[in-house]
Amino acid sequence: MSETPPDSASPAAERRYDVVVIGSGPAAGTVVSGLKDSGKRVAAVDRRRFGGTCALRGCNPKKVLLNAAKVVDAARRSHGVMVEGGNTVDIDWPRLHAFQTSFTDPVPPSRVDQFREAGADCFAGNARFTAADTLVVEPWDVPGGDVPAGDVPGGEVPAGEGGAAPITLRFEQVVIATGSIPVPIDVPGKERLTLSDQFLDVADVPERIVFIGGGYISLEFAHALLRADREVTILEATPHILDPFDHVLADRLADRTRGLGARIECGVKLTAIEDAPDGSLIAVAERENGADGETLRISCDAVVHGAGRTPAVESLACDAAGIDCDEQGVTVTDELVSTSNSRVFAAGDCAGLGHPMLTPVAEAHGDAVVQAILTGTPAAPNVSPLPSAAFTEPELAAVGLTAKEAEEQGVAFDLLEADIGTKGALRKRCEPCAGYRLLLEPKTGKLLGAHLLGPDMAELINLFAVAMKHGLTLADLVAVPLTYPSLAAEILQDAFDQAEQSASTGASKAGLS
């Protein structure tokens, strides 16, 4: 706990802490909880409502929308085959939004309570470094949930409440866990862009939406909106959606998404957002194929930013503390220690190690920082193998190397792949869009990578992550009695049969071309 502070209304108010944590998402939460009972004086600072992006503006609320899409999609796929009336099932977006907020609204007070129970003081406002061991928490004037500086009032962080004067915090160590923000898109009309977290705040959604970027943010939103019968367009600058997922399966998912009614344009770049005479918008894009590039003009009601995120460190004034940063975030050692200020750790999306911006990574970073603070011996976080998923419907999931990555790194592999949409487990679900691609070490049969497309693959990929973690072979997995009939049993047996056939023919790469 902190020592008794001076009058916090004074501009010179100062408090001293052993550890200050900037942020309140999964990395920050892991650090604060991990320092409970350590005897250290801890403070937590966030410029927005406590809880972080994942819980409030990202994964968790978006998953509520996608669960609705899953229900609707299953009903529609089954219409005329297993059920009647499935094609009339639709998403009630205002009701769905209300259900979504039932998960997000309790987060800020709960997170503040969690931090305080761990012995941390909580401050609402923007942190700005003023020296190598000092930062100021000051008012933040951006609307939409940001808050002024001061102690968090009443366990909540509503806009317009809290102390109005800057507060100085001195620290022995500081953990920068500020997460990420959308990558700036600098085109004429950029002020008309809707950010993904703003989109989650909308109680109802317009009829025509253009998504900029073809990553998981855009695809997941698109799959919810398509089941709500909205008109969706996705503009992606690269040749494939969902890079760096396996391109073969990602392309199959793109075809499935087009089949749901989406327009997907790859190899195009947004150049402007214009107002239309009727009050709607026009997204202007150029097809990037040289001097003869085609101009696309797409009428819509909203243009949503889904073109990636960047570390949220710019507002921290890191230079004042001698903290080096680059486009990947805070420049750190493999052990998450700043290379230029040894008092400083960075964790999660803003740690400049190039790790994926995923919640399990942030939590692993937080664990490593806690151990370094408690023991004085920094250690690298354990973030491999790392499964990931796009929660579309069907889902695309991955762990380990893709075939492209293996080839680029010169890693030998056997490839096992199949379209399983006509096989029993998927046919019973009326889902033809399903497949797998497995990469095996040629001599040992150990898994190098697993890539799955189909319903519930975000769950099944965890089996392959465990296998990779413990160095299991495909034969080891097949030897385990699994529930039957199930997707896991069907995929593993199909892949094992392929491997056996490949071994008998002496092929260097098993499977389909």
Segments of 281-420 assigned E as strands: 281-287, 295-300, 302-305, 309-311, 325-326, 329-330, 344-346, 388-390, 395-400, 414-419
For 451-473, what is each residue's pLDDT tens digit?
999 999 999 999 999 999 999 99
SS3 for 410? Answer: coil
Q: Do domains 190-307 and 394-505 have the same CATH topology?
A: no
Would you state the pLDDT for residue 423? 87
CATH number of this structure's domain 190-307, picked from the four choices 3.90.1150.10, 3.90.1580.10, 3.10.620.30, 3.50.50.60 = 3.50.50.60
214-253 per-residue burial string, b: 16 or more CB within 10 A, e: under 16: bbbbbbbbbbbbbbbebbbbbbbbbebbbbebbbbbbebb
- Is pLDDT at 92 greater than 80 in this prediction? yes
DSSP structure class, residue 333:
-
Which pLDDT band, with edges at 50, 70 and 90, does 293 fall under?
confident
The pLDDT assigned to 151 comes to 53
Confidence of residue 290 (pLDDT cuts 50, 70, 90): low
- pLDDT above 70 for 157: no
Band of residue 161 on the pLDDT scale cut at 50, 70, 90: very low
Residue 128 makes CB contacts below 8 A (sequence gap 6+) with 135, 136, 137, 138, 315, 316, 317, 320
**pLDDT at 220 > cutoff 50:** yes
Residues in contact with 180: Cβ distance below 8 Å, sequence separation at least 6, in sequence order: 53, 309, 310, 311, 312, 349, 350, 357
Binned at pLDDT 50, 70 and 90, residue 113 comes out as very high
Give the pLDDT of residue 187.
97
Domain ranges of the chain: 1-176+362-384, 190-307, 394-505
Say how far apart CA 48 and CA 152 lie, in whole Å.
11
Q: Which of 8-17, 107-116, 132-141, 306-315 has the lowest mean pLDDT?
A: 8-17
Find out whether the peptide bond into 385 is cis, omega within 30 degrees of 0.
yes
CA distance 23 to 26: 9
Confidence at residue 502, expressed as pLDDT on a 0 to 100 scale = 76
Question: How many angstroms separate the most distant Cα atoms in the chain?
Answer: 80
Run of H or E residues at 490? helix 487-505
Nearest to 111 by CA among 100, 122, 97: 122
CATH number of 1-176+362-384: 3.50.50.60
The pLDDT of residue 152 is 52
* Contact yes or no for 169/136 (Cβ under 8 A): yes
Say whether pLDDT at 217 is over 50.
yes
Higher-pLDDT residue of 282 and 292 is: 282
* C-alpha separations of 434 from 50, 198, 421, 510 in Å: 39, 32, 5, 19
Q: How many other C-beta atoms are found inside a 10 Å radius of the C-beta of residue 149? A: 24
Judged by average pLDDT, the poorest of 6-20, 70-84, 192-206, 339-353 is 6-20
Mean pLDDT throughout 486-503?
91
What is the pLDDT at residue 93?
94
Does the structure show a pLDDT above 80 at 291?
no
pLDDT of residue 357: 95
| Interval 353-385: pLDDT, tens | 999 999 999 999 999 999 999 999 999 999 999
CA 399 – CA 450 distance, rounded (Å): 5
Q: What is the mean pLDDT of residues 130-140?
A: 90
Instruction: Compute the distance between CA of residue 144 and CA of residue 158 in angstroms, rounded to an integer.
Output: 10
Q: For 394-505, which CATH superfamily applies?
A: FAD/NAD-linked reductase, C-terminal dimerisation domain (3.30.390.30)
Q: How many CA atoms lie within 13 A of 445 on its CB side?
A: 15
Strand, coil or helix: what is 37?
A: coil
- If you average pLDDT over residues 87-103, what whole number do you get? 94
What percentage of the chain reaches a pLDDT higher than 90? 81
Distance CA 374, CA 171 (A): 15
